[in-house]
Amino acid sequence: MRIWEVQKGESVEGSFEGHQGSIFAVAVSPDDRRIASSGEDTTFIIWDVETTQEVFDPLVKHTGGVQSVCFSPDGKRLTSGSYDGTVIVWNAEDGTILTIHNVHRGWVLSLACRIQPR
């Protein structure tokens, strides 16, 4: 994965490497300091934009490709949706699971996050 300077038409130096297979979705944190990417390898990864390094080990709990990911407006939580039909809310600061929702019979293809602060 690469970051592009749209006005210049150039990629920013450095790349984000870690997924095994296709990347399905990306989300940028509200403070622009982190990027979350998700993919067919059933993981999603939180990246530090400055260093292009993983903030912590890839987050794994889904059993199918992770099709969608989004940050909460305050940047403290991430939500992921998967081909396995689950939606998981994660703590974006330490990678722990906050809640798992098994409410879908089919794929979760997209998410919109409007989680209220606690």
pLDDT tens digit sequence for 79-100 = 898 888 889 999 999 989 999 9
Q: Quote the pLDDT of residue 117.
A: 55
pLDDT digits (tens, 9 = 90+) for 34-76: 988 888 888 888 888 888 778 887 777 888 888 889 999 999 9
Pick 77 or 63 by higher pLDDT.
77
For the chain, which domains are there? 20-101 (2.40.10.480)
Helices (H), the chain: none
What is the spatial distance between Cα 1 and Cα 104, in angstroms, rounded to a whole number?
29
pLDDT of 115 above 60: no
Q: Given this model, what pLDDT does residue 89 score?
A: 92
User: 42: phi > 0 → left, psi -120 to 50 → alpha, else beta; which?
Assistant: left
Average pLDDT over residues 12-26: 75
